[in-house]
Amino acid sequence: PPVIRREDYKPFPWLLPVTRLNFELGVETTRVTSTLSVERNPAGDASPTITLNGDGISALTIRIDGKQTSEWTMDGGNLLLPLPGASHEIEIVTEIDPSANSQLMGLYASNGMLCTQCEAEGFRRITFFPDRPDVLSTYTVRMTGSQDQFPVLLCNGNKSAEGVGENGTHWAEWHDPWPKPSYLFALVAGDLVVNRGSFTTMSGREVELAIYVRDGDLDRTGHAMASLIKSMKWDEETFGREYDLDVFNIVAVSDFNMGAMENKGLNVFNTKYVLADPDTATDGDFDGVEGVIAHEYFHNWSGNRITCRDWFQLSLKEGFTVLRDQLFSQDMQGEAVKRIEDVRILRSVQFPEDSGPLAHPIRPDSFREISNFYTSTVYNKGAEVIRMMRTMCGPEAFRKGTDLYFDRHDGEAATCEDFILAMEEGAGLDLTQFRLWYSQAGTPKVDIAMAHDGDTATLTVKQTVPPTADLADKLPMPIPLKIALFNRETGKHEGEHLIVLNAAEQTFEFGGFAQPPVLSVNRGFSAPISIERDVPDEDLVFLAAKDDDSFARYEAMQDLIVRHLTAASGGALDDSAREAARMAIAQAFGSILSDDALDDSMRGELVMLPGLTYLAEQQLIADPAAIHTEREGLKAWLGARFESELVLIHQRVSKLPFGLDSASRGARKIKTQVLVYLAAGNPELASKMAAAQYNAADNMTDRQGALMVLTGLGTAARTDKLIDFHRRYKGNELVVDKWFALQASSLHPHAIEHVKALAEHPDFTMRNPNRVRSLYMAFAANPQAFHAADGEGYKIIADLILALDPINPQTAARFVPSLGRWRRIEPARAAMMRAELERIAKSDSLSRDTFEQVTRSLG
Ligand code: B3K
Ligand code: ZN
């Protein structure tokens, strides 16, 4: 497959002002007639042909200006049509089989309903079209289908007409007044029930809201509806953005490759991000629904009204929209905990990506398959980059910048550079050097040393941007660091400073310190970097107990543990050094458990141990087994040492009645955290408490938490509760997914055997991406089982990739990065991981998706 490069961008030689589509719907055969009005693009070259993208489709008939023609050729899947004049009308008829579409791209069938996924290049699987984001057209769509099979007919925009046809059919016509690229097209036809709501916009327009789900799911749509209404209001208040159609429809689909899709006026969602009630969804699931509903809604402006010129600009819409949904969730749930959660995802997913073979800048320069670039780098690091702009200019100036961007580029397909220019002008920032964040991959390393002399504290700060496969020599980047210097005696500081690094090495002086202060750095995680500093444990213990910046407090605790586990798993500690480090951690741990000023939600964050991927990331070459052993050892040691305190906390919070308020949510979070520690320190006791928590549970958070702990233990309660859980929720796909995931990610020594058995379970299917992820993504993230010393875990994932690739290449390719980490793993395991990648590479029928990821991972 060819490499596509950002520098080769050329505008499309034709404009397509109007697109008409006619669908004659059937699960096995759908006939599509598309009528395109085309005009020469004055900005494009004067090519005598038009190239229309196609993928796995063929044209039944083609007419140009009303006359059937056979003067066309194919170039791979694409259709080349000679067009002599300056404007023409092209009519093309294609026929597709949605029931055979297991890739879930284009038009496909899911439980008898028809739906679409077009981003990035799925529209070309429906009809021939210039399937690129810079070709905007106004769509009018007519669909006809069986009234019984498809009582609901939905498309983008507003419904303009409907009627009854012959032989039990009916039809609907939808018109979307907003010009859009083909990737935002959507169609849904099926037997669905609906939850209706409404929203009055800031200018007083009434918008009808609707959430469509399968029969039986209606009473789990309330949270999604409430989240949608909050999102609409928030975007008006925070970014001045108003909704622009008379209807906003959401459809939930259980077969879906990712979370959701922002099609204009018709968002299509994975059921996982729509359906929630306390009995079947955890607090985390509730937050997921709220966040994804907001994200897709916010795309209406950052993505749809202003879209991307080409796919290299993907972060223009995704990075910005992730930042917008993060700020929204911070406002809904509280800033401190949300920030910690976002950083945890960044560091456990994006940092490893940025230091591995698949590293790429947030605005990539080349790709073979664009689906492989919907990455944590483009999304999450992209959001961090825009967040840094906001940190440097402040929220008011930031709003001026975004206002200018929305105003200037409304209705356009824009670039990241357009966004940067609007920020420079509107927010008053100079982003000359900052642009490097868009072109350089790799997580910057910042080394900080503090010296104290007289009454002055001097910080010496050095930065390096590590080499990545695409680029070896990097330039220093602007890094906004929020810092505070604490007085050791008073436990207070005199105010936060924002320093912006912009050179390889710099010093900063702070006066007025008779004694060396305690440095709190990268407060609020003001920059997506990793920090190295030589600071005594006692300073970290101090910050873990006293820092007034919640993130920095969390970070001090993480640092303390990371430093210890890194040293211990690298074999650098003898017993007495291990004991000393554990004592420092215990001191901080104890102060967190007993701090009455802390809410339980924050307490739950502060006591969470860093994950294995993040720990492995700290070492050039990591031994997953050694890290796992040390991490479990520390957990058991803390669990035993603080047993009585932990039991008391569990008793205290168990008395609180269920509620969705933050105190009640915090109680549930710490409750399961307590069990996690006790399970390591005193398995017998933990098993009893977890079984009791399971039995008493009146909500999924408590029930799943208890079952998670039990699943890792070898006690009789484990089997009992796993059987009970499956029986209790039989038929509820999303909860059965949890049942698979809990076993695949468990600490149980036989997790591998369990995964093999689950693959044969009647509820398992390779056709449903949620189910595949619930078994195998959970397994690939299970450090102990995936990294089993004999390589069995690697083999399981490689076998999965080979089996899934012909069915669903996009989902198959998502499993490659877990094996692609081989260079950073100790030699014996690295060789086995590499061998599995080579085995996959040998297959001569790999999809473009998997081929690209495997080749890059071996490269
Ligand atoms: N824009 C979609 C992602 C499409 C992924 C295609 N492989 C969802 C989102 O980011 O909101
Ligand atoms: Zn998005």
pLDDT at 303: 98
The DSSP string of 1-70 is ---EEGGG----SEEEEEEEEEEE--SS-EEEEEEEEEEE-TTS---SEEEEB-SS--EEEEEETTEE--
pLDDT at 541: 96
Beta-carbon contacts of 71 under 8 Å, excluding residues fewer than 6 positions away, are 81, 82
List all residues whose CB is within 6 A of at least one atom of ligand 1: 119-120, 258, 260-262, 295-296, 299, 318, 371, 374
pLDDT exceeds 90 at position 572: no
CA of 300 to the centre of ligand 2 (A): 10
Q: How many domains does the chain have?
A: 3
Q: Whose CA is nearest to atom 3 of ligand 1?
A: 261
| For residues 231-260, average pLDDT | 98
Choice from 104, 118, 119 to test ligand 1 binding pocket (greatest atom count within 8 A of CB): 119
CA of 613 to the centre of ligand 2 (A): 25
| For residues 807-834, average pLDDT | 98
**What domain range is 377 assigned to?**
307-439
| For residues 222-249, average pLDDT | 99
CA of 186 to the centre of ligand 2 (A): 16
Where among 527, 561, 576 does a domain terminate? 527
Choice from 116, 125, 258 to test ligand 1 binding pocket (greatest atom count within 8 A of CB): 258
Whether 402 and 491 share a structural domain = no
Q: Which atom of ligand 1 is nearest to the CA of 259?
A: 8
Q: Which atom of ligand 1 is nearest to the CA of 258?
A: 5
Give me the CATH number covering residue 119: 2.60.40.1730
Q: Which atom of ligand 1 is nearest to the CA of 260?
A: 8
CA of 325 to the centre of ligand 2 (A): 10
Whether 500 and 374 share a structural domain = no
User: How far, in Å, CA of 480 to CA of 464, rounded?
Assistant: 15
Whether 433 and 474 share a structural domain = no
With respect to residue 199, please indicate whether it lies within any of the assigned structural domains: no
Nearest to 522 by CA among 492, 491, 494, 543: 543
pLDDT digits (tens, 9 = 90+) for 499-518: 999 999 999 999 999 999 99
Give me the CATH number covering residue 328: 1.10.390.10
Of 91, 121, 290, 296, which residue is the catalytic one?
Answer: 296
Give me the CATH number covering residue 491: 2.60.40.1840
With respect to residue 825, please indicate whether it lies within any of the assigned structural domains: no
CA of 184 to the centre of ligand 1 (A): 10
Report residue 1's pLDDT band, with 50, 70 and 90 as the boundaries. confident
296 is annotated as an active-site residue: yes
* CA terminus-to-terminus distance, the chain: 16
CA of 327 to the centre of ligand 2 (A): 15
Where among 527, 557, 574 does a domain terminate? 527
Burial of 696 (0-12, 13-18, 19+ CB in 10 A): exposed
Q: Whose CA is nearest to atom 1 of ligand 1?
A: 261
**Ligand that comes closest to the CA of residue 317:** 2
Residue 530 contacts residue 480 (beta carbons within 8 Å): no
User: How far, in Å, CA of 833 to CA of 853, rounded?
Assistant: 14
Beta sheet of 479-486, edge-to-edge order: 497-501, 479-486, 518-521
Whether 339 and 422 share a structural domain = yes
pLDDT digits (tens, 9 = 90+) for 748-774: 999 999 999 999 999 999 999 999 999
- Percent of the chain surpassing pLDDT 90: 99
Q: Which atom of ligand 1 is nearest to the CA of 119?
A: 6
Q: Whose CA is nearest to atom 4 of ligand 1?
A: 119
Q: Whose CA is nearest to atom 5 of ligand 1?
A: 119
Q: Whose CA is nearest to atom 2 of ligand 1?
A: 261
pLDDT digits (tens, 9 = 90+) for 283-323: 999 999 999 999 999 999 999 999 999 999 999 999 999 99
SS3 content of the chain, % helix, strand, coil (to 5): 45, 20, 30
**Ligand that comes closest to the CA of residue 263:** 1
Whether 383 and 494 share a structural domain = no
With respect to residue 719, please indicate whether it lies within any of the assigned structural domains: no
Report residue 850's pLDDT band, with 50, 70 and 90 as the boundaries. very high
pLDDT digits (tens, 9 = 90+) for 145-186: 999 999 999 999 999 999 999 999 999 999 999 999 999 999
Whether 431 and 452 share a structural domain = no
With respect to residue 641, please indicate whether it lies within any of the assigned structural domains: no
Where among 527, 553, 576 does a domain terminate? 527
User: How far, in Å, CA of 447 to CA of 463, rounded?
Assistant: 6
pTM of the model: 0.99
With respect to residue 799, please indicate whether it lies within any of the assigned structural domains: no
Q: Whose CA is nearest to atom 10 of ligand 1?
A: 318
